[in-house]
Amino acid sequence: MRTTQIHQLKNSGSFKQNLLLWSQQFDDVVWLDSNNHNNQYSNYDAVLAVEAFTAIHTDYFDAFERLKEYQSTTNDWIFGYLTYDLKNTAEHLKSKNYDGLEFPDLYFFQPQKLFLITGNQVEIQYLNMVADDVESDLLAIENLSSQSAVELQNDIKIKLRIHKEAYFEKLDKMLAHIQRGDIYEANFCQEFYAEDSVIDPLETYKKLNAISKPPFATFLKCNDKYVLSASPERYIQKKGQSIISQPIKGTAKRSLDDVEDKKLKTELAKDKKERSENIMIVDLVRNDLSHTAIKGSVKVDELCKVYSFMQVHQMISTVSSKVAKETHPVDIIKNSYPMGSMTGVPKISAMSIIEDLEATKRGVYSGSVGYFAPNGDFDFNVIIRSILYNATHKYVSFSVGGAITAKSDPMKEYEECLTKAKAMREALEN
């Protein structure tokens, strides 16, 4: 059982900063921040969950069944991540590429302490066993305001797992698959990494978030492993019997010149290649949601709308469905995972070809971070525009990718990857 208190905040911005700093003492942390984006679907402006009471760490084998059992047994808030490699339990696939990060395939925990921020109000939910800590914790959080962070970051030397010539060779193979009709579209990704590197995870996250200010920012800590995410994309959300998924496909860079920036946005909205990419994934998402939807309830609420973020313009669609009350929330995720925007069409063939051509195990990248509420509602993002860090191995990684179709220009695809990589590189190098 949980004890709940509501507190009014004088300054939600400074409270959020102090709260995140205070959270660093715990081994299990999930911080989700909307950065005040006005999203009609969002439940909270920010959420912090810390200090595991119970937890599940597992590999991909029967992962969704184990998660289903854990979620049902816990019957409480649980926070964590799903890696891309859970595809191997959903389908007969494998992940044999190099993995320098070594994150568990699935990780969730039941927090002892939970903060739900909306506007200038914070709802604090503590398990009864730690309910007496609320006032002392609030005092500790308030008193952090005068503290300054000490950066531990050394010189970061970022390397490419796939160099430019090899990238073009692999893209030629991907295009050959498309020309043969094996697939119509696939998301091809490449890793940037640094070995023997020490970073301050919190300060790196702050830099990344300040650069991008995305609607689905995440700071996740699982002991010595960190996810620092500036994700602009929602994977899937459940509210009652309503499900939405919001795939992103279609990217254009921003310009400091207003006229040029508007032109870039307009061109993206009209770009036939980008629209076809998006529409193919929308069809895939519609199919994925139909597996658990009430018949006739799947619909496209928004098609190919362009949204502007600090680094890029993005083309986003919204697909919705209704599910029966008795449908288990984990089954909804299992039947749509991995998300269409990070796989391709047809989905299984695309994932198989991706595995052959990519050089790195994706792991948490292109997976998802989020939560289940006690009533079975959930909300999960897509882990893109993200830095992953294994502090024990001193290994830093970020990956970027793009949708490859018959109309893809390899040079433009490569340049798009560099555009997407800019924010993570800047957060690490500066």
> And the tokens for 319?
């697909």
Residues 6+ apart with CB under 8 A from 422: 311
Distance between CA atoms of 408 and 174, rounded to whole angstroms? Answer: 10
Q: Is the dihedral of CA 124, 129, 135, 136 positive or negative?
A: negative
- Res. 146: pLDDT tops 50: no
> And the tokens for 75?
């019957």
Residue 90 has a pLDDT of: 84
- Res. 5: pLDDT tops 50: yes
- Res. 151: pLDDT tops 80: no
Confidence of residue 37 (pLDDT cuts 50, 70, 90): confident
Per-residue pLDDT, averaged over 331-355, amounts to: 97
Residue 42 has a pLDDT of: 83
Three-state SS string over the chain comes to CEEEEEEECCCHHHHHHHHHHHHHHCCEEEEEECCCCCCCCCCCCEEEEEEEEEEEEECCCCHHHHHHHHHHHHCCCEEEEECHHHHHHHCCCCCCCECCCCCCCEEEEEEEEEEEEECCEEEEEEEHHHHHHHHHHHHHHHHHHHCCCCCCCCCCCCEECCCHHHHHHHHHHHHHHHHHCCCCEEEEEEEEEECCCCCCHHHHHHHHHHHHCCCEEEEEEECCEEEEEEECCEEEEEECCEEEECCEEEEEECCCCHHHHHHHHHHHHHCHHHHHHHHHHHHHHHHHHHCCECCCCCEEEEEEEEEECCCEEEEEEEEEEEECCCCCHHHHHHCCCCCHHHCEECHHHHHHHHHHHCCECCCCCCCEEEEECCCCCEEEECCCCEEEEECCCCEEEEEEEEEECCCCCHHHHHHHHHHHHHHHHHHHHC
Contact 137, 22 (CB under 8 A): yes
Residue 145 has a pLDDT of: 65
Residue 95 main-chain phi, psi, to 5 deg: -130, 100
Per-residue pLDDT, averaged over 81-106, amounts to: 95
**Residue indicated by tokens 């190098």:** 429
Residue 311 has a pLDDT of: 84
Percentage of the chain modeled with pLDDT above 90? 91
Residues 6+ apart with CB under 8 A from 260: none
Residues 6+ apart with CB under 8 A from 231: 214, 216, 217, 218, 381, 382, 383, 384, 385, 386
Angle between helices 410-429 and 201-212 (to 10 degrees): 130
pTM reported for the whole predicted model: 0.96
User: What are the tens digits of pLDDT across the range 179-221?
Assistant: 999 999 999 999 999 999 999 999 999 999 999 999 999 999 9
Which residues are identified as catalytic? 233, 249
The alpha carbon of residue 162 and the mean position of all alpha carbons in its chain are separated, in whole angstroms, by: 23
Percentage of the chain modeled with pLDDT above 70? 98
Confidence of residue 134 (pLDDT cuts 50, 70, 90): very high
User: What are the tens digits of pLDDT across the range 56-81?
Assistant: 999 999 999 999 999 999 999 999 99
- Res. 147: pLDDT tops 60: no
Residue 412 has a pLDDT of: 93
- Res. 288: pLDDT tops 90: yes
Confidence of residue 152 (pLDDT cuts 50, 70, 90): low
Per-residue pLDDT, averaged over 286-302, amounts to: 98
**Residue indicated by tokens 């830095």:** 387
* Average of per-residue pLDDT values in the chain: 95
For residues 153 and 247, the model is more confident at 247
Name the nearest CA neighbour of 281 among 339, 358, 352: 339
